[in-house]
Every structure is written in structure tokens, then in C-alpha cells.
Structure 1
Amino acid sequence: MPSGRVHEAINLTALGLMGLAYLAGSPKEALGEPRVLAFTVSYLVGTFLVTPDLDLAEVRVRAKGRWGVLGVLWWPYGVLFRHRGLSHTWILGPLTRLGYLALVAYLLWVFLEGVYAYLEGGGALSLHLRIPSLPKEVLLSTLLGYYLSQWLHLIADGVLPDRDFRRRPR
């Protein structure tokens, strides 16, 4: 199986080729579009920070290292999902990482609200989480960029899209 560096090289090469194709077929003004930025950022996040190999609980993974001290937050994910199990499926695998990340962010937010309430002497909380509404095109571009980065990783690992539907020999 490819190393983390090889996975990253494959994804960056594909992103470069997609960028060249996009530049060849679009006017230069299209580069500043929010959906292009959303696609690119989510693709890079999926390549470097939120990869299928985060399911390796005990092993040093490049993506965990990039999280710095927060890399420890991915240890429970590695315990929950065995390597190349559900986390290495085409649809649910990327969703497990997004769901896990959302859960960790929510728990961190609840903790910070509690600390804030404690420091304020039990008064009313004034921390308000406001999630900006984004156009559908930007959200779709974000999901597409993230999923494409995950799928390239799975292809390099030899995981085919029909893996979940094939019967495994007993």
C-alpha cells in the first residue's frame, strides 16, 4: 500500500491536472469564485488533515502529526474504526470522519461554554455559535473536493467502489 507521502503526491498531481483543465476551459475571472476556493480548500483538507488513514489508532500517521497536539483527538476514531474497515468505504468512510469531526467540535464547544459560564459566575452564556449560510453551489463544491480527495486515496489503496457490494469469501 502507498505511504502517506505517495497518497499526497497522487492527490496533488490530480489537483494540479484539474487546475490546468479548469484554467484551460474557464475565463480567468472564474478563479476567484467561492466554489473554486471551497473545492480547493476542502480537497487539500481531505488530502492533508482528514484522511482515511486516521483510522490507524496506534500508528503514527502524517495527518495526525499535522494536527499537532490536537492529533490526539483522532485516537478514539482509530479505536472505533478498524483500518480498512468502514472508514475505507466510498460513501460512509468520508462521512464517518466528517461526523466524528463534527462531534468533537460540538463537545469542545459545550466544554468551552461550560468554562465560560463557570468563569462568569454562572451567569447567562453569551457565547453564540453562528454558522453562516452558504450557497448550495459552495456546499456542493466543498463536499465534492473533500470526497474526491478521499476517493483518490481509496483508489491508490486498491479499494474499488463496489467493494461494499461484493460478497467476501468465508
Structure 2
Amino acid sequence: MIAGCGDAAILSAWVLRGLNKASGVHTLSCLLLIAAVAAPAGPAVYKCATGGAVVYQSEPCIGRELKRWRATPEAVDAAALARLEVLREQLRQGPRGRNGAATRNLRRQAVAPRPQDVCERTRVARDKAYAKAGLKRDFAMSSGWDNRVQQACR
């Protein structure tokens, strides 16, 4: 068995035994199959335990090896890279108007006030009304304002 080849070496030994019986085309196709199977999928990644810490590395472990696998890089999608570059360029140029001209002032869109804002504004209005009324505040006024705050803060 060839060192470091694993299953590919077993397969090649099995094929070589039958070589003398096979035709030339069959032999060539078998050798191509062996070459394809024996080719490594990618660089090896080792998960090692050294001194109580876990380390990932591309070299074989000096300490205890926890796991080993082949890292296969993903293919680069040229179309996706081109789209990404276009988006980056658009972001560098800044916001643009409808006609393509750069806009300096962005208009604020009317946004409905958040519930916290309505609640807080109602509380502030109640406090101002209480301060204005002073000691002349009656039950009807207090009850009315408290009901408004309760409705706004739901």
C-alpha cells in the first residue's frame, strides 16, 4: 500500500491486478479514474488539542489530533463579484435623485409618531396644564388629563 493514499491505493492495487486481462482503452479509463479519486479535494485542516486549548491549523498536529478534514474552497462567482462592485461604487457616490444627479438634502418623509412619543407628549402636556392651574386644579381637570394619558400610553 502507498503511504498517505488510503482508499485510492487499495483501489489502484485492485485495478492493477486486473490490468493484464483488460484492453488498452479499459486500462486507460481505469487509470484516469484512479487519478481522479486519488486527487486531494483541498488542503487539510487539523483540529488539535495543545495545552488544554483547541487550535485549527493546516499542518499536522504536534499534540493530540481531534479531527481532520479537507477544506474545499468555494468557486468564485464572477457575476456576483461584478454586482458587488457595482453596489460598492453606488455607495461611494452617495444618494442620487431620480434624474441621476446627486442630492444634497434628503427630504424627510412624514412618519407617524411612535407610541412612546405620543405618550410622552401627552404626559408633558398634562404636566404643563397642572403647572398652569396651580392650586386651582379640580377633580374634573385631573380626571380628564389622567384619562388622556392613559389612552395615549396604551
Query: Which of structures 1 and 2 has the larger relative contact order (alpha carbons within 8 angstroms, sep 6+)?
Result: 1
Specify which structure has the higher proportion of strand.
2
Asked whether the two chains share a fold, i.e. TM above 0.5, the reply is no
The structure that has the greater radius of gyration is: 2
